[in-house]
């Protein structure tokens, strides 16, 4: 049985409740229903509760380069699972385009017929690489994970966050003839210590290894899809998020008695059905002042940005004759509405589109 998150009247998280009790609270007016930005329905109490006692709830994060998994677990219930589609490749491609456009502008500005000393080069003024800097693609990945953790921290009384610390030697596992240990690394490994510091703002953080995640997953009897990890399903990445969160309640350790010794699992945890969401950033472009191909007549058309001429913003959740979807673009009289995969449902007259919710910066399915 799935549990519904509950907030106290002051906005602090309380323990989740049963669906039947949630319906009674809604009917009697003791609570009002709301939706969080991460796609989770929850209740906020309108009257003071009888107590504020809570139990341990752990968030598990399985970070990745293209996809991440998140699970929220208590000793008796699985509360929330999510498959995150990370913006790594999108950010990287846009950084490449930005680099090319900047190079073109510099090339047009410099008169190469003059001597080097008289060219319009900007003189070096300072070193801009004095501090440890995360690549924009890596930072975007970690910030999406932090956004979901921040949302979940408002819904559940989180006592601990568990994060898988990746140690992957991609050179050794690549099958290359002259591969050597310690010579390769994965993009997932970049910025891990920075991420652990950021997570400490929400709750105490524990880092676990990948082999521990696999061991716990096998002990719990959870199946993982290793053939196609791009599939937005529980068995690809969210299953590891649940296993990581469950490690806060069970542990494999050695024991010894007077005349015997061994090792076994200690503690207990129950894996139950829970909400599963697929979360991504809306893939609209930022406002561009310079286009790749200059327009004739030196008149630049608008490209990118989030505003439209009809009062909607890109990423807004709207209702249309084609169904519920997200605003993805506009024309002079029409609004483009797309589904959660950003596939266009249709171009619809703006007067036939009604706003359901302003853009939250997330697309949840």
Going by pLDDT thresholds of 50, 70 and 90, the confidence category of residue 169 is low
The predicted model gives 137-161 an average pLDDT of 95
Going by pLDDT thresholds of 50, 70 and 90, the confidence category of residue 346 is very high
Residue 112 has pLDDT above 90, yes or no: no
**Which of the two residues, 70 and 178, has the higher pLDDT score?**
70
Name the burial class of residue 128, with classes exposed (0-12), middle (13-18) and buried (19+) by CB atoms within 10 angstroms of its CB: exposed
Q: What local confidence, expressed as pLDDT, does residue 247 receive? A: 94
Residue carrying the six token digits 């929330």: 80
Sign of CA dihedral 210, 216, 218, 223: negative
Lowest mean pLDDT among 84-98, 239-253, 257-271, 317-331: 257-271
Q: What local confidence, expressed as pLDDT, does residue 253 receive? A: 84
Please work out, in degrees rounded to the nearest 5, the angle formed at the alpha carbon of residue 140 by the alpha carbons of 12 and 184.
120
Going by pLDDT thresholds of 50, 70 and 90, the confidence category of residue 76 is very high
The boundaries of every CATH 3.30.420.40 domain in the chain are: 55-88+133-280
Q: What local confidence, expressed as pLDDT, does residue 44 receive? A: 96
Residue pLDDT, tens place only, 9-48: 999 999 999 999 999 999 999 999 999 999 899 999 999 9
| Cα–Cα dist 78/212, whole Å | 19
Q: What are the start-end ranges of the E strands in 75-229?
A: 78-85, 160-164, 205-208
User: Which tokens in the block code for residue 269?
Assistant: 């945890």
CATH of the domain spanning 296-364: 2.30.30.60
Residues in the chain: 365
Residue 255 has pLDDT above 70, yes or no: yes
Residue pLDDT, tens place only, 275-324: 999 999 998 888 877 777 777 777 777 788 888 889 899 999 999 999 99
| Cα–Cα dist 53/345, whole Å | 47
The boundaries of every CATH 2.30.30.60 domain in the chain are: 296-364
| Cα–Cα dist 269/246, whole Å | 7
What is the signed CA dihedral for 75, 78, 80, 82, rounded to 10 degrees? 110
Distance of CA 186 to the CA centre of its chain: 19
80: closest CA among 52, 103, 61? Answer: 61
Within 10 angstroms of residue 66's Cβ, the number of other Cβ atoms is: 16
Q: What local confidence, expressed as pLDDT, does residue 235 receive? A: 92
Q: What local confidence, expressed as pLDDT, does residue 356 receive? A: 93
Residue 52 has pLDDT above 60, yes or no: yes
| Cα–Cα dist 37/73, whole Å | 19
Going by pLDDT thresholds of 50, 70 and 90, the confidence category of residue 81 is very high
Q: What local confidence, expressed as pLDDT, does residue 184 receive? A: 57
Residue 183 has pLDDT above 60, yes or no: no
Q: What are the start-end ranges of the E strands in the chain?
A: 3-7, 13-18, 31-35, 41-45, 57-62, 67-74, 78-85, 160-164, 205-208, 250-256, 261-267, 275-280, 317-320, 323-330, 334-338, 344-349, 354-357, 363-364
Give domain 55-88+133-280's CATH number out of 1.10.10.10, 3.40.50.1820, 3.40.50.11740, 3.30.420.40.
3.30.420.40
């Amino acid at each position: 049985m799935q549990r519904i998150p509950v907030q106290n009247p002051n906005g602090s998280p309380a323990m989740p409740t049963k669906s039947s009790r949630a319906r009674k609270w809604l009917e009697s007016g003791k609570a009002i229903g709301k939706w969080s930005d991460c796609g989770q329905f929850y209740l906020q109490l309108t009257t003071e509760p009888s107590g504020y006692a809570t139990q341990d709830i752990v968030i598990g994060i399985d970070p990745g380069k293209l996809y991440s998994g998140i699970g929220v677990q208590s000793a008796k219930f699985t509360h929330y699972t999510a498959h995150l589609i990370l913006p790594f490749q999108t950010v990287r491609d846009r950084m490449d385009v930005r680099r090319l456009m900047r190079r073109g502008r510099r090339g047009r500005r410099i008169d190469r017929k003059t001597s080097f000393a008289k060219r319009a080069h900007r003189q070096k003024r300072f070193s801009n690489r004095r501090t440890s800097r995360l690549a924009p693609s890596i930072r975007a990945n970690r910030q999406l994970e932090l956004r979901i953790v921040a949302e979940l921290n408002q819904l559940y009384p989180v006592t601990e966050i568990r994060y898988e610390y990746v140690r992957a030697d991609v050179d050794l596992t690549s099958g290359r003839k002259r591969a050597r240990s310690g010579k390769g690394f994965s993009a997932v490994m970049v910025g891990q210590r920075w991420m652990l510091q950021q997570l400490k703002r929400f709750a105490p953080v524990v880092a676990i290894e990948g082999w521990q995640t696999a061991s716990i997953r096998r002990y719990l009897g959870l199946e993982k899809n290793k053939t196609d990890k791009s599939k937005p399903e529980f068995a690809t990445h969210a299953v590891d998020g649940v296993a990581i969160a469950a490690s806060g309640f069970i542990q494999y350790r050695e024991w010894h008695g007077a005349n015997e010794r061994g090792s076994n699992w200690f503690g207990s945890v129950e894996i139950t059905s829970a909400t599963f969401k697929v979360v991504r950033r809306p893939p609209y472009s930022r406002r561009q002042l310079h286009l790749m191909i200059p327009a004739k007549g030196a008149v630049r058309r608008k490209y990118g940005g989030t505003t439209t001429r009809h009062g909607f913003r890109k990423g807004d959740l709207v209702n249309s004759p084609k169904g519920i979807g997200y605003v993805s673009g506009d024309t002079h009289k029409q609004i483009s509405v797309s589904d959660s995969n950003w596939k266009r449902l249709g171009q619809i007259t703006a007067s036939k589109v009604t706003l359901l919710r302003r853009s939250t910066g997330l697309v949840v399915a």
